[in-house]
Chain A
Amino acid sequence: MNDTILETQAMTREFSGFVAVDGVSLSVRTGSIHALIGPNGAGKTTCFNLLTKFLQPTRGRILFKGRDITGLAPAQVARLGLVRSFQISAVFPKLTALENVRLALQRARGASFDFWRSERVLDRYNERAMALLTDVGLDHAGDLLAGMLPYGQKRALEIATTLALDPEMLLLDEPTAGMGHEDVERIVALIRRIRPGRTILMVEHNLSVVEGLCDIITVLTRGRVLAEGDYATVSAHPEVISAYLGTAHA
């Protein structure tokens, strides 16, 4: 199928006997925004770790753009255009916001093994890095250390860094978690803006964000797919209501 960008076949991961992800077969349509929801401990982050090869699946296969990526290393997957963000905010705290984004742009040079050259050769990425920072509302923060930024801005910086790689597919792990209302709106608007030409798979707890943004939703509980479909279908599913919506919206 040409319009499937990412596919998993019975992907399973066990941690010393405990099955965190249990035969998950996902199929993500090219160009869609696909949500992965489910209660805490359902195995969503583990799925992301498997898809980006930070963890090796115990069983099953992963195909990206028709290519079997099950055996690849995480850095290789990233270079194929499948880039993740992390649930826990992942910036380089002692580098400036500009340097954070530039590190992603620097990847375009290939490997940066040139230890004899001045880092000034990276200045040519400054303009593009500033543009990306401006895009996420961080135009003031270029020279600030990433570790000093407030939480919402760290998340925005993370997205700017991920976007700097211009990935075909993004995996966002709870991009709005812990954010105030305004920051959530900003991130949602940002995701809308970056979506043309990309596919996004996101873990999201905020159901109004999911409703407004996502084309298709997969519900995971205890490592298994419970239901899949658009928001109306999924939210009408009786088991989903009891397993997830029921507890979250009680």
Chain B
Amino acid sequence: MFGLDRDQAIGTLLLIALLIIAPFILYPVFVMQLLCAALFACAFNLMIGYVGLLSFGHAAFFGMGCYVAAWTMKHWHIDALAAILMGGVAGAALGLPLGWLAIRRSGIYFAMITLALAQMVYFFCVEAPFTGGEDGIQQVPRGHLFGFINLNNDMAMYWLVAAVFLAGFLLIHRIVHSPFGQVLKSIRENEPRATSLGYRTDDYKLIAFVLSTCLAGVAGGAKALVFGIATLTDVHYSTSGEVVLTTLLGGLGTVFGPVVGAAVVVSMENYLARFGDWVTVTQGAVFMVCVLAFRRGIVGEIAARLKLSL
């Protein structure tokens, strides 16, 4: 199913089991925060891990997903799932023009262009009236799912977020293991060769970019509903940096790496919060240790040692 091989299928079953027991052991809002970060990192990993393009502006799509989901929820009172999906539509709608501009370059230039474009989105969000500027969009209702499931109940909200996460996770896996994914990998491996076989590589990169930004928007939309708020932090470059860190920490181009990375980063943020600025310092230190000691990231390293495909 979904192109999972044996190791990955076992890993996925384990992940589903964890999704089921987690809210009974941990604070559900914490797990939801983790799942939103994990989906965001998985979406980012689609670009860096499978197309080989480092986007330094993914917060733009995550943040726009937050704003649009929050705004539609608050002003149109639509269904919660529809609001989350609106976040995805926003991510894709923004990803299409920005991706079109960015994919013409590669390597460090791609990273710089995505960063510059994301900064423009940030300043747009500072100025645009609908985002609420410095205040953001606050007191966003969670509303109902399918009109009758009240999501103010944390457990109900949790199952929705878990389902959205799992769907996104499996979709990414399917993308990577589709005929399209094969071409993506060939572009990552040797773009001139892919071109010489007759593939218009720009088209493939753009579609991958839009899929990635769409899922980043979905992750943002889910986060806005969980916390009932969308703010400038969500579109800030530090959020872009964090998703890079999360993915590197977990393991670039691995299936479970972004999820494990998100678990580490979100846990650190939550449990170290009382130490104030030390969170950032600790994160920096953990990141440096990771890059120096195990370059493949946590999951990449485990997979290499145990000869598994995770």
Contacts and interface: CB of A to CB of B under 8 A. Distances in A.
B182 A106 contact: yes
Interface string B1-34: 0110000000000000000000000000000000
A79 B204 CA distance: 16
Interface in A72-105: 73-75, 78-79, 83-86, 90-95, 99, 102-104
Contacts of B175: 115-116
Interface string B179-205: 111110110011011111111110110
B252 to A, nearest CB: 13
Given A95-B189, A115-B207, A118-B3, A161 B197 contact: yes
B211 interface: yes
A236 interface: no
A90 B179 contact: no
Nearest to A118: B3
B197 A119 contact: no
B186 A75 contact: no
B178 interface: yes
B196 A119 contact: no
Given A95-B186, A106-B183, A107-B197, A114 B178 contact: yes
A85 B175 CA distance: 29
Contact of B185 (A52, A91, A94): A94
B174 interface: yes
A115 B203 contact: no
A112 B182 contact: yes
Contacts of B200: 73, 75, 111
Contacts of B204: 113
Contacts of B174: 115-116, 118
A181 interface: no
Contacts of A94: 185, 189
**Which secondary structure characterizes the binding site on chain B?**
helix
Given A90-B192, A95-B185, A113 B180 contact: yes
A249 interface: no
B144 interface: no
B179 A112 contact: yes
B178 A92 contact: no
B192 A103 contact: no
Contacts, number: 102
Nearest to A78: B198
Given A52-B196, A95-B185, A112 B180 contact: yes
Interface residues of B, number: 29
Contacts of B196: 52, 54, 74, 78, 83-86, 90
A90 B3 contact: no
A106 B174 CA distance: 18
B295 interface: no
Contact of A122 (B182, B190, B192, B195): B182
Contacts of A107: 197-199
Interface of B: 2-3, 174-175, 177-183, 185-186, 189-190, 192-201, 203-204, 207, 211
B182 A119 contact: yes
B222 to A, nearest CB: 21
A114 B181 CA distance: 9
23 contacts: A52-B196, A75-B195, A78-B195, A78-B198, A86-B193, A92-B186, A92-B190, A95-B186, A95-B189, A99-B182, A102-B182, A103-B194, A103-B197, A106-B179, A112-B180, A112-B182, A113-B180, A114-B180, A117-B179, A119-B178, A119-B181, A121-B179, A122-B179
Nearest to A84: B196
B198 A54 contact: no
A91 B193 contact: yes
Contacts of A106: 179, 182-183
B198 A117 contact: no
Contacts of A85: 196
Contacts of B3: 118-120
Contact of A75 (B190, B201, B207): B201
Given A92-B186, A94-B185, A104 B192 contact: no
A65 to B, nearest CB: 16
A165 B199 CA distance: 12
Given A78-B196, A86-B192, A103 B186 contact: yes
Given A73-B200, A107-B198, A119-B3, A114 B193 contact: no
A109 interface: yes
A244 B69 CA distance: 69
A103 B188 CA distance: 13
Nearest to A81: B198
